[in-house]
């Protein structure tokens, strides 16, 4: 951390005030998180299941769309590149993002393509907290065609020249094709001081960390990292050694592993591993979308000139706020500033 804790807070508060000056590109999988809330009324006579009376339904941007929502909630301008289907959920998701002030020109609507959705049924009595009963995943019925893949690259070329940083939010679906990842990698920050070129590039990938070689920072959670590294219940020493090995293989500036109520682990080129303890209460309510918040704040801080440790500490504060909220939540500049103050 540069300087004293008080200096870091002062610098961070100033950066938060400048988030609205930044434009961030987001390449990734747009997902509709659909929540249906209901009240259990009786057992069904058709099958040994409970009948749930629907009370309300809510659509929340998920996946890369949650990253976009986080960036907008923090005041940043966003240039999204992704796809939705020509269906009702795609219309709703795209409409919600545009209503939040997102420039939707980079989101392509594909014919005969199903918008990715995670549909959750939550049930409980009137005066109790609703509990998730079942989740149904709605996945695309086909992969993008060659022409559609080429169109994603064209969109990147058309919209990507003015952004201050890139995030790839990869959930294993259509948008982050190898060619698109290569395009973003080509814009990645390199060098140091006056010789530095390019912009910060942050990769948040669920299943294929090794595809993001040469990105500025790769941000898996501990479970994703262990899956990629082939680790099962590693000791701290094994985790640290494997993490340093992966950081070296990825050949970027850093690897940031988020660890839930154990905070974060930053592996930075040429530096000792940095453990960042969780900010706030370790009695976590919901980790859904916390990785999207981390990637968003980390990228904004780097684009605003923060060092990697300072940017990670600010992202850690934001993560500590969002895990105390239910669902794929966002954080506002006021909440982040209050937490620092």
> Which residue shows structure tokens 């079942």?
134
Rounded CA separation 186/203 (Å):
13
Selecting among 11, 33, 164, 292, the annotated active-site residue is 292
Q: Is 292 a catalytic residue?
A: yes
Collapsing DSSP to helix, strand or coil, 286 comes out as coil
* H or E element at residue 149: helix 146-159
> Which residue shows structure tokens 């807070």?
9
Rounded CA separation 309/284 (Å):
23
Long-range contacts of 317-320 (CB under 8 A, 24+ apart): 317/279, 318/293, 318/294, 319/258, 319/264, 319/279, 319/290, 319/293, 319/294, 320/278, 320/279, 320/280, 320/281
Q: Give strand ranges (E) for the chain.
A: 23-28, 30-43, 50-63, 77-85, 107-110, 116-123, 131-138, 165-170, 201-205, 217-218, 254-258, 264-268, 274-276
User: What is the total residue count of the chain?
Assistant: 341
The upper half-sphere exposure of residue 273, i.e. CA atoms within 13 Å in the direction of its Cβ, equals 19
Rounded CA separation 297/292 (Å):
9
Q: Other C-beta atoms within 10 Å of 307: how many?
A: 15
Contacts of 91 (CB under 8 A, 6+ apart): none
Rounded CA separation 314/13 (Å):
10
**How far, CA to CA in Å, does 325 sit from each of 93, 254, 302?**
21, 28, 25
Instruction: Kindly list the strands in the beta sheet with 165-170, ordered across the sheet, starting from the edge strand earlier in the chain.
Output: 107-110, 77-85, 23-28, 165-170, 201-205, 217-218, 254-258, 264-268, 274-276
Catalytically active residues are 292
């Amino acid at each position: 951390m540069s300087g004293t804790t008080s200096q870091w807070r002062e610098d961070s508060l100033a950066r938060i005030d400048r988030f609205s000056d930044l434009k961030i590109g987001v390449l990734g999988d747009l997902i509709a998180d659909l929540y249906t809330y209901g009240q259990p009324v009786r057992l069904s006579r058709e099958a040994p299941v409970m009948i749930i009376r629907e009370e309300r339904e809510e659509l929340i941007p998920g996946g890369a769309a949650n990253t976009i929502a986080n960036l907008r909630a923090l005041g940043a301008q966003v240039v999204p590149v992704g796809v939705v289907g020509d269906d009702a959920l795609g219309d709703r998701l795209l409409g919600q993002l545009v209503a939040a002030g997102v420039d939707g020109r980079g989101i392509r609507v594909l014919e005969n393509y199903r918008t990715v959705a995670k549909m959750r049924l939550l049930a409980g009595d009137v005066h109790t907290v609703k509990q998730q009963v079942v989740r149904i995943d709605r996945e695309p019925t086909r992969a993008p065609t060659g022409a559609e893949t080429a169109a994603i690259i064209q969109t990147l070329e058309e919209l990507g020249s003015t952004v201050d940083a890139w995030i790839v939010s990869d959930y294993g679906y259509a948008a982050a094709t190898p060619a698109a990842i290569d395009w973003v990698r080509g814009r990645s920050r390199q060098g140091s001081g006056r010789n530095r070129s390019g912009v910060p590039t942050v990769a948040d990938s669920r299943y294929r960390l090794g595809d993001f070689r040469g990105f500025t920072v790769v941000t898996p959670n501990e479970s994703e990292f262990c899956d990629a590294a082939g680790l099962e219940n590693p000791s701290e020493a094994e985790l640290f050694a494997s993490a340093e090995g992966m950081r070296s293989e990825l050949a970027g500036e850093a690897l940031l592993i988020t660890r839930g109520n154990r905070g974060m682990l930053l592996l930075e080129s040429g530096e000792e591993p940095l453990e960042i303890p969780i900010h706030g209460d370790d009695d976590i309510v919901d980790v859904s979308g916390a990785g999207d918040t981390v990637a968003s704040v980390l990228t904004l801080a780097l684009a605003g000139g923060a060092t990697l440790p300072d940017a990670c500490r600010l992202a850690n504060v934001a993560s500590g706020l969002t895990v105390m909220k239910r669902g794929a939540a966002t954080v506002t500049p006021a909440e982040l500033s209050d937490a620092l103050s």
